[in-house]
């Protein structure tokens, strides 16, 4: 490898290290202080980098916030995937879907920063920013796709487009309920009863899915 190539590789590695430092610092500051109270200079100071280094990697504070949301969501999804890997297979029936939904909701308690960041985005009207809104939509669409995949695989005898429509409707309902559960958890600063609420949310959503699937089967 020539000296120019080595230099380019080293530069890219340094950029990744700097990016990780920036995102780690920004995640903590955004979660603790909110969006408006977190400046680029504060992020730079906490990350131990120059402000100019931040603008070399990110176009704006909105871009940092979007990247933090995506990064944090990936960590949450990894926790869920690590737990799902214990099952080894896709769910076989709706009772198993209900069980996994409840566990997926409950695992959010292990990602309190992620929940706080979503609250910051909503409370400080960051959802009006296209980058932030797209990041949030991406997170939610991922969850919807998982539910769609499970139901389509389970009900192959039914019209796929109708099964997907049912999955999307109830995925949106589940997310709306989840928003309420974790807002309650943050406002009351307690996780008391959280597991039971997650189980109840999953049960309610799956009950609705069962009704619609049965109606589709009998149509």
What residue ranges define each of the domains in the chain, with the CATH number in brackets?
A: 1-58 (1.10.10.60), 61-218 (1.10.357.10)
Give the pLDDT of residue 4: 44
What number of residues does the chain have?
219
Q: Is 128 left (phi over 0), alpha (psi -120 to 50) or beta?
A: alpha
Higher pLDDT, 135 or 158: 158
Higher pLDDT, 150 or 108: 150
Q: Is the pLDDT of residue 189 over 50?
A: yes
Contacts of 37 (CB under 8 A, 6+ apart): none
Report the pLDDT averaged over residues 179-195.
73
Higher pLDDT, 155 or 69: 155
Give the pLDDT of residue 77: 65
Residue 8 parent element (H or E): helix 3-33
Output the furthest CA–CA distance in the chain (Å, rounded): 70
For residues 101 and 146, give the distance between their C-alpha atoms in angstroms, rounded to a whole number: 10
Give the pLDDT of residue 8: 46
Residue 140, judged by CB atoms within 10 A of its CB (0-12, 13-18, 19+), counts as middle
% of the chain beyond a pLDDT of 90: 42
b/e for 171-180, b at 16 or more Cβ within 10 A?
A: beebbebbee
Q: Is the pLDDT of residue 216 over 60?
A: yes
Q: In terms of Cα–Cα distance, which of 102, 111, 114, 119 is closest to 79? A: 111
Q: Is the pLDDT of residue 61 over 80?
A: yes
- Of the segments 56-65, 123-132, 134-143, 204-213, which one has the largest average pLDDT value? 204-213
Angle 136-141-146 (CA atoms, 0-180°, nearest 5)? 135
Q: What dihedral angle (degrees, nearest 10) is formed by the CA atoms of 150, 202, 109, 183? A: 120
Average pLDDT, the chain: 82
Q: In terms of Cα–Cα distance, which of 8, 28, 3, 14 is closest to 56? A: 14
């Amino acid at each position: 490898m020539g000296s120019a190539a080595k230099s380019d590789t080293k530069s890219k590695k340094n950029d990744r290290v700097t990016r990780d430092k920036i995102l780690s610092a920004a995640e903590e500051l955004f979660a603790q202080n909110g969006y408006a109270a977190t400046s680029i200079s504060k992020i730079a100071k906490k990350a131990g980098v120059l402000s100019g280094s931040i603008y070399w990697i990110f176009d704006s504070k909105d871009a940092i916030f979007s990247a933090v949301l995506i990064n944090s969501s990936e960590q949450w999804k990894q926790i869920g995937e690590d737990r799902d890997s214990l099952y080894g297979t896709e769910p076989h029936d709706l009772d198993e879907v209900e069980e996994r939904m409840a566990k997926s909701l409950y695992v959010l308690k292990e990602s309190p920063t992620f929940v706080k960041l979503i609250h910051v985005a909503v409370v400080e009207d960051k959802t009006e920013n296209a980058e932030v809104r797209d990041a949030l939509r991406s997170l939610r669409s991922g969850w919807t796709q998982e539910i769609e995949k499970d139901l389509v695989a389970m009900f192959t005898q039914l019209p796929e487009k109708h099964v997907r429509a049912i999955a999307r409707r109830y995925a949106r309902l589940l997310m709306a309920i989840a928003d309420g559960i974790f807002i309650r958890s943050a406002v009351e600063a307690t996780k008391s009863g959280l597991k039971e609420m997650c189980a109840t949310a999953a049960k309610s959503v799956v009950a609705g899915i069962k009704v619609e699937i049965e109606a589709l089967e009998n149509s």
